[in-house]
């Protein structure tokens, strides 16, 4: 009885946090119209995921669905069409507690480009976001999406931001949904910094010693 009460309290609080994320990202122009979705792992085998077809800045708790790790609807409305992408991350990365997917203007521009981030090294981004990877192109909402996401996770198990080629971005957090939201905000700021840096003639190239120094700090987090 007590465990059920605590579970329901946790679900209610998590839904409230998810509503705050929708409002925050919309205010910052990082979540537009009915696009994007986000989710939170509940326990080990259930996920709260925004429902399909709603403007995320205006949803209520009733527009947040509960599904199991197989994607079966347990409670609520039809979940987001990108559900397979979320499930792939949770299955492949047990440490991940929350995911935010969106189409922020600047980073979606990068997703539409051939920019690879392979030579990218910005200390603050490494500390605030973590690993950044670019997926192969996949048709949104199809089985191709979780497949290309899985490839990136296998390539870099520490990835925390995925640039979905031709689509948008996916930010992952081992903490909570607000932390995933912050990572998305930082990622968009990174995009702005890259554009400014390129306009000023290109980025400063960190030495191997400097890069290792940043990675050492990351390892202590």
pLDDT in tens, 149-180: 999 999 999 999 999 999 999 999 999 999 99
Nearest to 57 by CA among 91, 87, 26: 26
Residue 38's pLDDT band, with cuts at 50, 70 and 90, is: very high
Kindly calculate the radius of gyration of the chain based on its CA atoms and give it in whole angstroms.
17
Domain that residue 146 falls in: 2-220
Number of separate domains in the chain: 1
Cβ atoms of 62 and 83 closer than 8 Å? no
Report the CATH number at residue 109: 3.40.225.10
More confident residue, 8 or 79: 79
User: Distance (Å, rounded) from C-alpha 183 to C-alpha 33?
Assistant: 21
pTM value is: 0.93
pLDDT in tens, 99-149: 999 999 999 999 999 998 877 778 878 889 989 999 999 999 999 999 999
């Amino acid at each position: 009885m007590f465990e059920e009460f605590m579970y329901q309290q946790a679900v209610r609080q998590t839904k409230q946090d998810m509503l705050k994320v929708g409002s925050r990202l919309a205010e910052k122009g990082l979540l537009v119209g009915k696009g994007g979705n986000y989710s939170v792992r509940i326990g080990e085998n259930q996920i709260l995921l925004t429902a399909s077809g709603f403007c995320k800045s205006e949803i209520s708790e009733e527009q947040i669905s509960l599904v199991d790790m197989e994607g079966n609807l347990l409670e609520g409305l039809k979940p987001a069409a990108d559900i397979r992408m979320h499930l792939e991350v949770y299955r492949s990365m047990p440490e991940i507690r929350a995911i935010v997917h969106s189409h922020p203007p600047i980073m979606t521009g990068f997703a539409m480009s051939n920019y690879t981030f392979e030579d990218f090294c910005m200390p603050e981004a490494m500390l605030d976001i973590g690993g950044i990877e670019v997926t192969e192109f996949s048709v949104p909402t199809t089985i191709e999406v979780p497949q290309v996401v899985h490839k990136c996770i296998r390539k870099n198990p520490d990835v925390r931001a995925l640039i979905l080629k031709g689509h948008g971005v996916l930010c992952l957090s081992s903490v909570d949904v607000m932390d995933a939201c912050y990572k998305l905000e930082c990622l968009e700021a990174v995009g702005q910094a890259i554009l400014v840096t390129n306009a000023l003639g290109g980025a400063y190239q960190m030495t191997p010693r400097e890069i290792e120094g940043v990675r050492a700090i990351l390892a202590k987090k």
